Amino acid sequence: MKDIEIKLENSHITKDSGIKGFVEVNYAGKFDSIVVNAQILGSSELVTYTTCNNKQLPHTVSRLFISKESMMENKAEFTAVINFEPKESHDIKFRVSIIEQHKEIENDQIFATIST
């Protein structure tokens, strides 16, 4: 079992589909938070996060910080979107990291594809 794992509801993404993701932390040590970010490979466009743990974020962000206290049973879920019309397919790398005192302890990553 991984110390931290990220999963996506669907790995094929279009402009109008929301990206629903899930994170589970199985790390036995201490940690302060987790951070989720995404990189659209071959593009300078961003993925923006709109909800975290079923709550609307006050501002859309391109890097999602989730404190340990806001995670029920060391689990979190998020929704993200892309805000551009892709002219070609791109791979997206989602990466989640466990943070303890400003240091990355463990991480996991998963890939998805943006379709035109």
- At residue 106, does pLDDT exceed 90? yes
Give the model confidence (pLDDT) of 4-48 as tens digits.
999 999 999 988 788 999 999 999 999 999 999 999 999 999 999
Kindly indicate whether the domain formed by 4-102 is annotated with CATH number 3.40.50.
no
Q: Which residues contact 73 (CB under 8 A, 6 or more apart)?
A: none
Residue 82 contacts residue 40 (beta carbons within 8 Å) = yes
- At residue 60, does pLDDT exceed 90? no
pTM across the whole model: 0.92
